[in-house]
Amino acid sequence: MTTPKPSTICIGAGPAGLTAAYHLSKAGAAVTVLERDPVNVGGISRTESYKGFRFDIGGHRFFSKSREVEALWDEILGDQFVNRPRKSRIFYQRKLFDYPLKAFDALMKLGIVESILCMASYGKAKLMPIAKPKSFQDWVTNQFGQRLFGIFFKTYTEKVWGMKCTEISADWAAQRIKGLSLGTAVMNALFPRKPKSKEATIKTLIDSFRYPRLGPGQMWEAAAAHVERHGNHVHRGHDVVGLSRDAGTGRWTVTTQDTAGAKHSYDADNVVSSAAIADLAEYLRPAPPPEVLKAARALRYRDFITVALVVKDKGRFDDNWIYIHEPGVKVGRIQNFKSWSPDLVPDPTLNCYGLEYFCFEGDDLWTAKDEDLVALARKELVHLGLAADEDMVDGHVIRQPKAYPVYDDHYQANVQAVREWIEKDMPGLHLVGRNGMHKYNNQDHAMMTALLAAENILAGHRKWDVWQVNQDAEYHEAGEDRSLALDSGRLVPSRMAPARPEDISATRRADTPTWDPTAARPASRAAGRLSGRPRVCPASPGPWCRPAPLWPWSR
């Protein structure tokens, strides 16, 4: 007689929740996925749709250094991938600059006067550099000069990260823009190097990318369908509001509220949670001890709005997306969804642009009415000269809460406190994915953590330590491939440590989220000291984590 496989509830039908459910379903285990979104699966990697126009939250490229993840994508999606050329440029003063920045292209487009001023400011920076650069601004100014810093770094960085370049630690810039200066850029432009074969491979990956024909949501719809074909369930419109463990039986009961307000409950041996840690802690019973709850509540997030504008297609640009460095507009980036896949747009005479705004939940942008956001996006698109007002057809707003987990001075200690309590007192609860583990990573990482959690469930013991996996000898024996997926970390800037106690309290009073990607480091440091080692790009970075371009940005 065979022992029945343990049953599992997955909270969230994003890449992590669905990967766990997919793997468990394939192994013949019972699994129920509970997703709060009433319509879509895919989480942040979903594809939204409006009157037949389909669009992503940010534009999702499919690339992983892990062959296992790539193979899983192929297995789920079959022949539905398209290979798309990759093109993105920087918009500044009504001109589109090559990306990565090319010295001559940049100087030509800036014009003779501005180019001379840039060169003079570069010369000044070289002759009189800022001694001991502390901030991102200091570091980039030393490298490229004050003027180029203002044009190609300041505006976009501040929009994305929501803090001033004078507050961002210099070490992020040092890591991100390592080894490049205007001098080397000019030299590279004059005497281009022949790429070595490995570089050529990376370049190919950068020049094109794989993308599901109908957007990333197509991948996750296919995964959900697979789970259901195995007799398991994916319940949409079910917001998990309660999660309790029976100490006697060790079984879990999960309570959901559906869109009509009705309550439902589900039982299982295990729970895989990709819900944000800060939310999970609120509905866990028995409730976490006060210090654990406090740690979970202290975790912060940066949020994101896409305004999808349907326009008459005048073919004004064919980039996949454009970085907006123009001061005076709030938009940070513009996606061109037809360039991601023509099948995202139902009418060939139209196009759909996604104007992206980085914000904090509750701020003026977040709380603005949809019609005001559409009006703002229209105005800014016209102001930038990327569409004419008479070409505007329609607009739609999508808000994505908790798009980016914030790495602040305390996030690691906070995550650790929650994790230790769960591991000790909540056996059978597995944290996976991006917000589920408070890790600023891509789909492949989210999927790999879920795959390992599913293997632990099937094994009936902790075969893999999903958190410590890189240090785990057994894990390494299983092959490097998996660690490549788990290594898809991105660079995140860190705020410089405040100088004096009064600065610390001022920061707290202002309730400003801080950012710090560092690992082990003291919580506070003296002024002027760098705030730790930033996360580093993997050795051969994916297209969304590219080797040192001439300026920093985020996806």
Residues that bind ligand FAD (CB under 6 A): 11-17, 34-37, 43-45, 57-58, 60-61, 239-240, 274-275, 279, 304, 403, 433-436, 441-444, 446, 544, 555
Q: Which residues, 6+ apart, have CB-to-CB distance to 44 below 8 Å?
A: 14, 57, 58, 400, 403, 434
User: 274 or 414: whose CB is closer to ligand FAD?
Assistant: 274
Least separation in angstroms between residue 431's CB and ligand FAD is 10
Least separation in angstroms between residue 546's CB and ligand FAD is 12
Question: Which structure tokens are listed for 326?
Answer: 């123009």
Q: Which residues, 6+ apart, have CB-to-CB distance to 477 below 8 Å?
A: none
Question: Which structure tokens are listed for 252?
Answer: 């879990």
User: 176 or 238: whose CB is closer to ligand FAD?
Assistant: 238
Least separation in angstroms between residue 18's CB and ligand FAD is 7
| 427 Cα distance to chain centroid | 29
Least separation in angstroms between residue 9's CB and ligand FAD is 10
User: 146 or 449: whose CB is closer to ligand FAD?
Assistant: 449
User: 118 or 305: whose CB is closer to ligand FAD?
Assistant: 305
Residue of 268, 185, 322 whose CA lies nearest to 457: 268
User: 213 or 555: whose CB is closer to ligand FAD?
Assistant: 555
Question: Which structure tokens are listed for 249?
Answer: 């039986």
Residue of 432, 301, 418 whose CA lies nearest to 33: 432
Sign of CA dihedral 185, 174, 488, 439: negative
Q: Say if CB 498 and CB 508 are below 8 A apart.
A: no
User: 73 or 149: whose CB is closer to ligand FAD?
Assistant: 73
User: 20 or 185: whose CB is closer to ligand FAD?
Assistant: 20
Least separation in angstroms between residue 163's CB and ligand FAD is 18
CA 537/CA 540 separation, integer angstroms? 8
Least separation in angstroms between residue 239's CB and ligand FAD is 5
Least separation in angstroms between residue 402's CB and ligand FAD is 7
User: 44 or 151: whose CB is closer to ligand FAD?
Assistant: 44
CA 177/CA 312 separation, integer angstroms? 38
User: 12 or 212: whose CB is closer to ligand FAD?
Assistant: 12
CA 130/CA 144 separation, integer angstroms? 12
68 burial type by CB count under 10 A (0-12 exposed, 13-18 middle, 19+ buried):
middle
Least separation in angstroms between residue 37's CB and ligand FAD is 5
Residue of 433, 552, 553 whose CA lies nearest to 485: 433
Sign of CA dihedral 239, 241, 245, 246: negative
CA 346/CA 283 separation, integer angstroms? 42
CA 194/CA 155 separation, integer angstroms? 33
CA 284/CA 102 separation, integer angstroms? 52
Least separation in angstroms between residue 554's CB and ligand FAD is 8
DSSP code of 248?
Answer: T
